[in-house]
Amino acid sequence: MALKSTVFKVEAQIADMDRNYYQDHQLTVAQHPSETDERLMVRLLAFAINSSPTLAFTKGLSSDEDEPELWDRDYSGVINRWIEFGQVDEKWLRKASGRARQVQLVCYGGRSVPVWWQQNQQNLARYKNLQVIEIPEPSVKAMGKLINRAMTLQYTINEGQIWVSDGIDSVLIEPVILKDYS
């Protein structure tokens, strides 16, 4: 018998002073049985960083290969931003770069990220619409401790720093931009 996804209800209160975006989002997020708590929290962080009225989660890990896990499509269906997670294959990023105006890769995983980046940096440099962000491992682990089936999370973004709080504990995240849009 196949394991079922765990469903999380999240109220994300986002105050992004860098983009002048202040909004609350009611989210229902499914955690695939193979997905860690930390990875789920990284997905929520990416939602907060890129939040907009048209940003949406897709079917995620169980989706087909024609969709990212998170995307921002306008009302006509044009993909403005394609967001992926982890250390993805260059071929996959090439496909995403051809389909979306912007592609963002959110890397996490501690010591494996610099190794992956060293192997892929040269090939990824040619994609002008690609941004690669690394979330430091201590921040990922700290966010994983905030997880709860029903969460109210406050995201405060200012000058590239992100504070995530559940009302009791707070985590400071300082993403590292490995490659920016060029």
Q: Is 10 helix (H, G, I), strand (E, B) or coil?
A: strand
pLDDT digits (tens, 9 = 90+) for 56-75: 998 765 555 678 999 999 99
Enclosing H/E stretch for 164: strand 161-165
Structural contact between residues 105 and 117, judged by C-beta atoms closer than 8 angstroms: no
Comparing CA positions, the residue from 108, 106, 98 lying closest to residue 144 is 108
Report the mean per-residue pLDDT for the chain.
94
Q: What count of Cα atoms within 13 Å lies in the side-chain half-sphere of residue 9?
A: 1
Per-residue confidence at 150, pLDDT binned at 50, 70, 90? very high
Give the residue-averaged pLDDT of 122-146: 97
The percentage of the chain sitting over the pLDDT mark of 70, rounded to a whole number, equals: 96
Burial of 30 (0-12, 13-18, 19+ CB in 10 A): middle
Class of domain 6-179: alpha beta
- 34, pLDDT greater than 80: yes
Please give the single-letter amino acid code of residue 150. A
Domain ranges in the chain are 6-179
Give the residue-averaged pLDDT of 129-143: 98
Q: Phi and psi for 141 in degrees, rounded to 5? A: -65, -40
pLDDT on residue 66: 78
pTM of the model: 0.95
CA dihedral 55, 59, 63, 69 (to 10 degrees): 40
The percentage of the chain sitting over the pLDDT mark of 90, rounded to a whole number, equals: 91
